[in-house]
A and B are shown apart, each in its own frame.
Chain A
């Protein structure tokens, strides 16, 4: 219990620190005194702080938290530490929606809507296919993988008949892009992610039991099929909102839950809380890095999470004595 409180406090402290650091760094460097008087500040500085930087910081934190929490739960219910928020086909659907939006020339405002609709489309397909059979882990994974292949083939088909510049801008979006952050979008994503995480916490003990397999779960009084349905829909809505607002950011959803599980075990209540906080910190730092390192050009944040996360993971893997990823 003591260890958990310590981890929780350090993560919250780190999150606050990350917020401050990310607020200061950017194309325009904001000094501490300017920051402290941000409320009275007028004109351009006020706009940069309140309309651009804060929504983006909060969006990056929400997306990081949402992806890490979804990853933690999906790894649990699919009983596979290699699962991630995109395993069940949601990224394929979102990418399909985004591709359509870009190719049709629908503006930046329409893209999240299209991506979210695409995500819902693939989730509904996966749900329907899995429901046709007994709603189980294996039918979910199978239909998710099939849907992913189907959508990526369709996307390639669209690419092959589209102009190069449209392909390029879709590809950049696909690698993760938080630059469309603004207050309204951030608020919507906050609604999905925070409500979703609450639902996941509500079912955390069921997830603990589902890791023992559907048969044993039934013997411990858990209705596996209906728990799976609720958890699948919840993680899908969280992931869908994350992907629609910021593209397909990899690595956060797979590596953060791994890391936290290694630190404090597989019980999902703590795992979801700690993963959310760690995911928020990680993605916010990665995004700050992505938008400042070669300013004025912005790197896709997915590239940064991949490189930073990959290097960090390798070092951790080599240093840790008892790493087993479980």
Chain B
């Protein structure tokens, strides 16, 4: 059985369809990357998968059950979600913040038990942020903050982790650190669906890719089958060169600037 089946899904805002009749499946243990230009509907699809946005048509089947019939509380026991923007106005310590991830598993008035604290410890240790436990979330660097957010998600003990551009504002070292970490979690059994802007990161890390264009799936499959220059130039409407990463053998995308194009033209090449 697939972990997730998306069947003829259409959704959007204020009656306007953004995602148009999409169907795909996600296996347990997959590491799926969602790609596409700005406005293609990546975040809209993401919100629908996370049940924050109601489908206008079709549905999302999680472990054989339509998510429309699963309460937010029950879904949060199995699915953890990192939205693109998370603004936290108050100064929680990292430990307090990660502990909030236990909420779906706690009953009303139930005080977190030893077991919950152990899970929080474990999550902080996995993310290597236990030494930051008494620091305030807003005092952390971008990379540390992202780790704290993932630790909170892990405290939910999810089977599926959804992330919307989690490495956007990070430098290249921290991008790789976070994605390596997600890959490790994935190897340990966590299914990951991740929106990425950087095609090269997607190529290197994702087992499968879903390329969205104008609310529809343009192509899907392995990095080798999706990241072809014919496909990418059509979707992104810019000239690109696709090479091979000499170490991993995965596709590597190079950009071509207007300046370079004009220079080549002048030199008659």
Contacts of A211 in B (CB 8 A): 88-90
For A76, the chain B residues whose CB sits under 8 A away are: 90
Inter-chain contacts of B138 with A (CB < 8 A): 326
Q: B52–A219 contact, CB under 8 A?
A: yes
CB of A221 closer than 8 Å to a CB of B: yes
Minimum CB–CB distance from A193 to chain B (whole Å) comes to 21
Map CB proximity to A onto B72-111 as digits: 1 under 8 Å, 0 otherwise: 1111110111010011111111001000110110101100
Do A326 and B81 touch (CB < 8 A)? no
> Which of B51, B88, B101: most chain A CB closer than 10 A?
B88
A222 touches B89 (CB 8 A): no
Q: Provided the pairs A79-B89, A205-B103 are in contact, do residues A223 and B72 lie with their beta carbons within 8 angstroms? A: yes
Q: Is the CB of B92 within 8 A of A265?
A: yes
Report the Cα distance A211→B138, complex, angstroms.
14
Pairwise interchain contact A222-B83, C-beta atoms closer than 8 A: no
User: Known contacts being A215-B52, A215-B83, A326-B90, is A220 close to B96, with CB within 8 Å?
Assistant: no
Asked if A51 CB lies within 8 Å of chain B CBs, one says no
Check A212–B104 contact: CB distance below 8 A.
no
A81: contacting residue among B89, B108, B156, CB under 8 A = B89
A261 within 8 A of B: yes
Q: Cβ of B89 and Cβ of A326 under 8 Å apart?
A: yes
Contact (Cβ within 8 A) A221 B90:
no
Distance between Cα atoms of A24 and B96 in the complex (Å): 43
Q: Is B50 an interface residue (CB 8 A)?
A: yes
CA distance A223 to B71 in the complex (A): 9
C-alpha spacing A218/B72, complex, angstroms: 6
CA gap between A223 and B81 in the complex, in Å: 15
Contacts of B108 on A, CB cut-off 8 Å? 202
With A202-B108, A215-B83, A265-B96 known to touch, is A222 a contact of B103 (CB < 8 Å)?
yes
Which residues of B have CB within 8 Å of A80?
89
Instruction: State in angstroms the CA–CA spacing of A266 and B136 once bound together.
Output: 11
Q: By the criterion CB–CB under 8 Å, are A222 and B72 in contact?
A: yes
CA distance A208 to B90 in the complex (A): 9
A216-B83, A267-B96 as given contacts; A221 in contact with B89, CB under 8 Å? no
Q: Mark B149-172, 1 if CB is under 8 A from A, else 0.
A: 000000010000000000000000
Whether A219 pairs with B50 at a CB distance below 8 angstroms is: yes
Distance (whole angstroms) from the CB of B39 to the closest CB of chain A: 19
Min CB–CB distance A185 → chain B (angstroms): 32
A202 contact set on B, CB distance < 8 A: 108-109
A218 CA to B46 CA in the complex, in Å? 14
Q: For the complex, what is the distance from the CA of A252 to the CA of B71, rounded to whole Å?
A: 38
CA distance A253 to B93 in the complex (A): 24
> How far, in angstroms, from A219 to B76 measured CA to CA in the complex?
6
Provide the bound-state CA to CA distance between A80 and B88, in Å: 11
Cα–Cα, bound, A157→B74 (Å): 53
- Neighbouring B residues of A267 by C-beta, 8 Å: 92, 96
For residue A273, CB closer than 8 A to chain B, the reply is no
Verify if A324 is at the interface (C-beta below 8 Å from B). Answer: yes
Q: In the complex, A132 Cα to B91 Cα: how many Å?
A: 33
With known contacts A202-B109, A212-B86, A326-B138, A221–B103 Cβ distance under 8 A: yes
A324→B90 CA distance, assembly (Å):
9
Query: Is A209 interfacial (CB-CB < 8 Å)?
Result: yes
Q: Which residues of B contact A223 (CB under 8 A)?
A: 72-73
A26 at the interface (CB under 8 A from B): no
Within 8 A of A (CB), among B3-41: none
Let me know if B89 and A219 touch, CB within 8 A: no
Contact partner of B72 (CB less than 8 A), chosen from A205, A221, A266, A326, is A221
In the bound complex, residues from chain A placing their C-beta under 8 Å from that of B100 are 205, 208-209, 212, 220
- Measured CB to CB, the closest approach of chain A to B214, in angstroms, equals 24
The chain B residue with its CB closest to the CB of A211 is B90
Known: A221-B73, A221-B75, A221-B103. A212 touches B88 (CB 8 A): yes
Q: Is the CB of B90 within 8 A of A261?
A: yes
Q: Which residues of A193-225 are within 8 A (CB) of B?
A: 202, 205, 208-209, 211-213, 215-216, 218-223
**Smallest CB–CB gap between B75 and chain A, Å?**
7
How does the 8 Å CB contact mask read for A229-261 relative to B, with 1 for contact and 0 for none?
000000000000000000000000000000001
**Is the Cβ of A266 less than 8 Å from the Cβ of B90?**
yes
B196 to chain A, nearest CB (A): 19
Tell me the complex Cα distance, A81–B90, Å: 8
A-B pairs, 7 with minimum CB distance: A221-B76, A266-B90, A221-B73, A219-B81, A221-B104, A326-B91, A79-B89
What are 5 A-B pairs at a CB distance below 8 A? Answer: A205-B103, A216-B83, A221-B71, A221-B76, A222-B72
- Write the residues of chain B forming the contact surface with A, with a CB cutoff of 8 angstroms: 47, 50-52, 71-77, 79-81, 83, 86-93, 96, 100-101, 103-104, 106, 108-109, 138, 156
* Apart from A205-B100, A266-B90: 18 A-B pairs, beta carbons within 8 A: A79-B89, A202-B109, A205-B103, A211-B88, A215-B83, A218-B50, A219-B50, A219-B76, A220-B76, A221-B72, A221-B103, A221-B104, A222-B72, A222-B73, A261-B90, A265-B91, A265-B92, A266-B91
